[in-house]
Chains A and B, each alone.
Chain A
Amino acid sequence: MIYEGLSTILLKGNPHGRILRFENLDELKEYRDKNCLEVIIVNPAIIMGDPGALGSVKKHFRKAQWVGLVAAVFSDSLLQLFDARIQITDTPGNINSTIARLTEENCICADDSPVEELSDREKEVLIELVHGLSNKEIADKLHISTHTVISHRKNISQKAGIKSLSGLTIYAITQNIISIEDIQSGG
């Protein structure tokens, strides 16, 4: 019942969020996408018998903030294990501001506003790449170091989300960086 109520409050306060429910710490520990969990809300009662268990699970979730959901009286030393606490008596507004504060401090959803447009230099490097030039040849042609070419390539792949040369070629055409005739003529 607490879960239903809490998830409704959280989703209202944070419509883009996703909520997952785990029965116990063991189940949580085996969850695959560990880095996607931003905030983990725990009922302190489940670790009362073995507070050390929380520490060993925490190690696996370096990016998460831990929140105790306090519905009974617990010792201070137990509550201190959490980064923040939600009281069962908190208003929905309080709960959401606690969560918002934690997620701001620890924003792993940086991909909401990524820069995806390639810089002019990156476009130049991409053009030479799809024409089949090596890093060294690109460096010589553009009068930059090989090291710089490699770092441009990394940024291009990151921004486009594409690593393979044939994939980048198609990408370059869709972005009007090169035309299809360019590659068909063999550059």
Chain B
Amino acid sequence: MSAQDRATGPGTIKRRSFIDIVLGLGFVSTAVSFIYPLWRYAIPPIAAEPATDSIIAGKISEFKTNSGVLLKFGSKPAILIRTPDGQFRAFSAVCTHLDCTVQFKSDTSQIWCACHNGLYDVSGQVVSGPPPRPLETFAVNLRGEPGQEEVVISRT
């Protein structure tokens, strides 16, 4: 053991421990400089998709009474319903329970989620099953010449 290796008094540090600390700090800072970019990389970037505000579903004549169709509203599905009395209603087709896509049941004139048997009425209100909230409602407007109107769905 050389003279430097000996601790010489209170408040002093062995040469060996000093080198250990410096080396350790070097390795730790390397690890941090690796982990930070890796962590940031693994987080998916926020998709810069423009939010859709309204879509044209089609001509009024294309939709029969007591029926429902699924439409693409931005990146999510929407459901357009024509009630038995001929009115149009539109909702987000994403079930408020666990994000399954709902469908229209013409035999009972209800909106049904097949995943966990959630039922909504034609106003989007929960009738039975696990959904905690009503479906998000979209506005439906008719545009154009009478008889040839386009059905426009928009976010309220």
Asked if chains A and B come from one complex, the reply is no
Query: Which residues of B approach A to under 8 Å, CB–CB?
Result: none
Query: Which residues of A approach B to under 8 Å, CB–CB?
Result: none
